A = this chain, B = another copy of it.
Amino acid sequence: MSNNKKYPVFFISDRTGITSETLGRTLLTQFTSIGFERINLPFINSVEKTRGAVERINQAATASNLSPLVFSTLIDDECKTILSESRGEVIDFFAAFIQPLEEILGRESSHTTGLSHGISDDTKYMNRIDAVNFTLSNDDGVSTKHYPSADVLIVGASRSGKTPTCLNLALQYGLRAANYPLDADDILNGSLPELLSPYRDKMFGLTIQPERLQRIREKRRPGSSYASLKQCQKDVRTVEALFHHEDIPYLDTSQVSIEEICTTIMEKMALKRRSIN
């Protein structure tokens, strides 16, 4: 293939496609020199829909003159057969692993579709909703009164990534994640503001490179002193000194994704996820 042509990649699933997409995207990161065009085909749960998917794959094959990659988590045998007759190269997630797993576990698999991202019971859904509600009503230090029931309290300078981190902890792990913004003026003698000190054991700090913080704040409030490099440097320096002084575990978020921040927090704070679906 030439370098300027996009390689067509399909993610096919009988349900949300999240598993096939996760697998496919991870594998494709190992082929950085190729440009891929990604097409997600979720809810392929009938023979008719599978035929429709095959048609799209074959069209992409004709248009690109390539054999499209097809990451599949289909379970139904008839659908799988139809898919295998497309002009794509099918990477069958279950075929590769189910049989070895059956041997290791000494059990047959249940061969049922779409169990991974479905909903199982009310309680688990409520765990998730409760966590999201808690996180929304304890965003940005609006009040400390619910902190006793928080699983974790994220602290850091304004715009260091606290809110998306907390929302992701709530949505993906069912955790009640509060956050409190620290700025240089709150911190006297390098110590925690008094209203926060009872919660030190729940605290995890976020920090960030001042230059990156400046770019983020600048988008929020262009030209403000709040967004100036000087203010960002001061806030970061003061907050980091506080983390050291109070022995609060922390992470520099400048080069890491929200997923990595959350995984790090889970690990360092020894947090357990709640069942969410």
Which residues of A pack against B, CB within 8 Å? 1, 7, 15-19, 22-23, 25-27, 29-34, 40, 42-43, 67, 69, 73, 89, 91, 93-94, 96-98, 100-101, 104-107, 109-112, 115-119, 122, 125-126, 128-130, 132, 136, 139, 161, 163-164, 167-168, 171, 212, 215-216, 219, 255-260, 262-264, 266-267, 277
Contacts and interface: CB of A to CB of B under 8 A. Distances in A.
A215 B125 CA distance: 12
A8 B161 CA distance: 34
Contacts of A259: 16, 18, 117, 277
A98 B27 CA distance: 7
Interface of A is mostly: helix
Closest 9 CB pairs of A and B: A29-B115, A30-B109, A26-B116, A16-B263, A117-B259, A19-B26, A257-B277, A119-B257, A22-B22
B104 A89 contact: yes
Given A216-B129, A257-B118, A259-B16, A107 B31 contact: yes
A141 B139 CA distance: 19
B105 A97 contact: no
A272 to B, nearest CB: 10
Contacts of A263: 15-18, 42-43
Given A1-B105, A43-B267, A91-B100, 15 more contacts: A26-B115, A27-B94, A30-B98, A31-B107, A31-B110, A34-B107, A42-B263, A42-B264, A69-B104, A118-B257, A118-B260, A129-B216, A130-B219, A132-B167, A259-B277
A211 B105 CA distance: 40
A29 to B, nearest CB: 4
Contacts of A69: 101, 104-105
A260 B15 contact: yes
A17 B264 CA distance: 11
A23 B19 contact: yes
B258 A171 contact: yes
A187 to B, nearest CB: 25
17 contacts: A16-B259, A19-B26, A26-B93, A26-B115, A27-B98, A31-B107, A31-B109, A40-B266, A43-B263, A89-B104, A96-B96, A118-B255, A118-B257, A129-B164, A164-B171, A258-B277, A259-B277
A101 B31 contact: yes
Given A171-B258, A264-B43, A27 B119 contact: no
A208 to B, nearest CB: 11
